[in-house]
A and B are shown apart, each in its own frame.
Chain A
Amino acid sequence: MTHIETLGILEEIQAIVSDKLQVVSYKWLSRNFLVSSNVAKRLLAEFVEKHGSGLEVVYSLSGWLKNSPSNYHIQLVTRHKLSEAKQEYDGNCRADVYSVQVCIPEDPAAIWNTEFLQAEELFKQPAPVENCLRDNRFCGISASFVKRNVDGTPARVAAAQPNNAGISGPSKQNSSQTNAALPSQQNKVLQSSSKVAQHTPIMVKDVKSDGIGEVHNLAVKPSTDKKKTTSLPSNKNKDQNGKSSTGNGGSLATLLGRACTKPKCSSVPEVGSDSIQNFNGTADAQICAREAVEDENSDLDAYEVNFRRASYGEGNKKRRVVFDFSDEDENEDAVNLASPDLPKRKSLLGSEQDSKTLVSERPNSIVDKPNKDEVNVKEETMTDGEPNRSLREETSLVSKRTNGRNSVVKLESQLPETAPNKMDEVTDAAPNSTKRRKVIKTHIDDHGREVNEVVWEGEETEVKKVENHMPKKVGSGTTNAEANTVTNTTNRPTAPKRSPAVGSTAPSNPGGKAGNKKAGNAKDPKQGNILSFFKKA
């Protein structure tokens, strides 16, 4: 670099240190002025020579220690302690200027802070950008074997050994499923959306006619989690074998692939990226993200069930669905430990269903439901932990109309609070083989996200016919709401009946209610009046 450039940089350093009172470390300097670390250190040394008199300088001292010969010690020392510290070293030790600042902070980490903020900025740049953080271009050592895969797929290890410890098998299956159905897309967001769509084909398909809104609700992580999104598809697409039959997931992958290559799926990629922005941090997106993550972790059962739902859902309205997790397993008595816990899974499904349910319930204006019939209280024999599945079927049928998750969320909030412990609901639901009805319960799950779960509750005092599902659901919701003192209810018409089972399984959870409250209070004017449900009834 020319002398003039050097002088210019030194001037700038002077300004930054003295005026902005910022710590200038060599690393920060190298990234800021795009010079190598070695050059940056020399620049700093020159700066210290010329202008460093009033400033504090921190040196990095490194070498072998005298007293413990097999100890290579690297330490940071201030200028006036430098010569003293050098005594500890055996022979030659190297000292470089580490940073220049106006005064030494109490906490050494403050020196690191500016540099880290810079690193964070670089880190947050979109994935395809090759910046100096990502390729480490300013260090003194080049490593040509390092490859970074920017389109979301992590590159395979350079020394390709056949039995490399990779990620577990199921994730490979997942990836094959993903690959099977959708072409890999450059846009990570779309990738993630398609991937999530892959895993929850029902949601995508069912909601499709509604338009892009839902798909995004369900399929897209909020932009805040964009990074994670990248990694998810990257993990998925790891195995670029297209429709490869990788182990157990093979046939399933093709089935799911076929399911997703329906024209409706194309609505997913069409979604503009801006719609993604709408759902920052919303529960649904988180749930989707969580689903995606958990699905990723060998949740084959969920896929299988998803798939069955897809095939059953559309045509068979009054179909009795029996959920049996272990159906698809090779060993009937096997309990899939690799999948998330039952409660979690229920919550996953429940949350999926919630979105759908809410989607379907939302339109208070929607009075005539052609598929109301199917929305019967299912006389299903449900195994433990499956109540949400049947709900899903139902909701999938009526799900088409929704748009806008705000209303969805709000509707949820008006429904009864749920116990944080979903197991209660399950156990309550299981013994009942009589009519059940769906109740939406909200709680905060382990990840701290608000999960809305649609759960079957035994209903003894059912007055209305089950056909009026929508109102009934809301009705039951309101009954519970009334039973619950803390629920946030804005318009609560008198409920037609009480649901004792619901009450029994909905112990108050102050935290959850608080969360619900927040959601509930944000009344969305676009949403129809909930009273219209009950007027119909």
Chain B
Amino acid sequence: MEVDSQEQLQRKQSTYLSLDENFEIQKEVYRGQQYSQIYFARLHMMRTLLYSLVPNWKSHLPVCTVLELKEGKECIIFGTLYKHMKLKPCILDEYSKERSVAPLIKPHNFMHQDDYLVLEDESGRVKLGGTKLSTSVYVTGVVVALHGKETSAGAFFVEDVLEAGLPPQIKRPLKSREDKYVVFVSGLSIGRSSSNPLQFQLLVDHITGHLGDEEEQGLAAEIVHLVIVGNSVEISRGLLNGQNLASKDQSRLCEPFKELDILLTQIAASLPLDIMPGSSDPANFALPQQPLNRCLFPGSTTYNTFRSCTNPHCFELDSIRFLGTSGQNIDDLTKYSEAKDKLDFLERTLRWRHLAPTAPNTLGCYPFTDRDPFLIDSCPDVYFVGNQEKYETCLLKGLEGQLVRLICIPRFCETGVAVVLNMRNLECHALTFGTQISS
């Protein structure tokens, strides 16, 4: 068997540029500030933007602030939406739930037919009426421009809405590329009793080029990057209830990390990988989540291919811009609004130009003082969200020629599905694994 004579396949490479600086909070100083500043920064940035868009929309109407509204006068106002929700959980309910050792409460929707929207700017707020602005679509924190007039009841009757729309996209050079693939996987949940390590091992084997014949390994050699989108580890709730841990429990705490580290070592030895924190990972709760500490991965951090990244994560591969989160933003939208599928939520966040509009209202967020890092300035080419129920993808086309691939990445431990994206044509396919062998 002359096996050693064949040429070993070379893995393809691509240039990586990280754009996570915006999401790092080390330079921030906390002076006890509250969230008004981040809202102000958001309103300010978005208002400037919307103001520039208004002439194309309805140039004949005057712009005024909320306090300057006069009854019957048609005008345009800018502001942040606030949705008053009857069923929105209050902190006391959440506190009482936290005290029990119950598992994570599955999010359900808090919408109610009595919800109403309010527009707020620096001067004041006004209740919104009319049917143009759908209460089920919008959430607190979205900045819009509204055309309408004040009614006798003191509410603002909305006749038209202007959202910021898709941000401008930097045109990619249209040279013919070779096939290069990026693999996305999320929700490994190592440490969960129901997780199947064999599945992830199969994924690792496939990507690193152990599995399959030469043809398959040739396909694998074209994978240039792996992104692990959050929730890689799950620590049993019983260990986290605030009680003191016996020493045997202490080792149970680290078991998932050791396992993950061994698997990541196998990957990092073969191709570049990014790991993002998720809601169940040991990272900070508030967005933007900071990178997982490198000491959690003592074996893998020695590789130059291993990168621990923030959540949200923005990077460029061969000048294709990727932007994505581990799912907290979309999950929050699911709780407070409705849409026909998750891709719809993704699209909305792009149109609102804000990754997480419900932060800091219902989504934990750092109280930035001078900026809102979740504003999307430049349209990404690939926009992904992790830890969703199923794999969904679509190609979004913008009015100015933007082309965005939206991807919902399912939880791997439940579905065994990873997503593979071809950077040449932004096409996606699923990479699924099955290990049902017992008869």
Contact = CB atoms under 8 A, between A and B. Distances in A.
Interface string A152-166: 101111110101110
A6, A135, A139, A147 interface centre (most CB from chain B within 10 Å)? A139
A454 interface: no
A108 B295 contact: no
A170 interface: yes
A334 B217 contact: no
Interface stretch (B62-70, B84-92, B302-310): B302-310
Contacts, number: 293
A420 B18 CA distance: 42
Contacts of A517: none
B18 A448 contact: no
Interface stretch (A65-73, A389-397, A461-469, A478-486): A65-73
B205 to A, nearest CB: 7
Nearest to A27: B210
A338 B431 CA distance: 39
B433 interface: yes
A81 B439 contact: yes
Nearest to B205: A27
Interface residues of B, number: 94
A532 interface: no
Interface in A482-531: 509, 511-512, 514-515
Interface string B295-321: 101110111111111100001000000
A108 B20 contact: no
Interface string A431-453: 00000000000001001110000
A131 B73 CA distance: 77
Interface in B1-59: 1, 3-4, 8-11, 13, 15-21, 24-32
B271 A143 contact: yes
Interface string A1-13: 1000010000000
A383 interface: no
A234 interface: yes
Contact of A60 (B16, B212, B297): B212
Interface in A55-96: 58, 60, 62, 65, 68, 70-78, 81, 94, 96
B196, B211, B221, B266 interface centre (most CB from chain A within 10 Å)? B211
A77 B271 contact: no
A505 B127 CA distance: 51
A146 B295 contact: no
A304 B9 CA distance: 53
B333 interface: no
Contacts of A334: 29-31
Contacts of B96: none
A232 B266 CA distance: 21
Contact of A161 (B18, B215, B295, B302): B18
Contact of B9 (A107, A142, A234, A509): A142
B118 interface: no
A123 interface: yes
Contacts of B299: 123, 134, 227
Interface in A247-298: 281, 293, 296-298
B426 interface: no
Contacts of A444: 244-245
B213, B261, B269 interface centre (most CB from chain A within 10 Å)? B269
Contacts of B272: 157-158
B103 interface: no
A262 B222 CA distance: 54
Given A77-B437, A511-B244, A515-B244, A127 B210 contact: no
B224 to A, nearest CB: 10
B220 interface: yes
A39 interface: yes
A24 to B, nearest CB: 15
A141 B216 contact: no
B9 A74 contact: no
Interface of A: 1, 6, 26-27, 30, 36-39, 42, 58, 60, 62, 65, 68, 70-78, 81, 94, 96, 104-109, 111-112, 115-116, 119-120, 123, 127, 133-136, 138-150, 152, 154-159, 161, 163-165, 167-170, 227-232, 234-235, 281, 293, 296-298, 329-331, 333-338, 420, 444, 447-449, 509, 511-512, 514-515
Given A123-B262, A140-B217, 12 more contacts: A30-B210, A60-B202, A70-B428, A72-B429, A73-B433, A108-B437, A149-B304, A152-B302, A165-B307, A228-B295, A293-B293, A334-B31
15 contacts: A36-B3, A39-B4, A77-B437, A94-B212, A108-B437, A116-B201, A133-B265, A146-B271, A157-B305, A163-B19, A168-B291, A231-B302, A232-B295, A331-B29, A449-B250
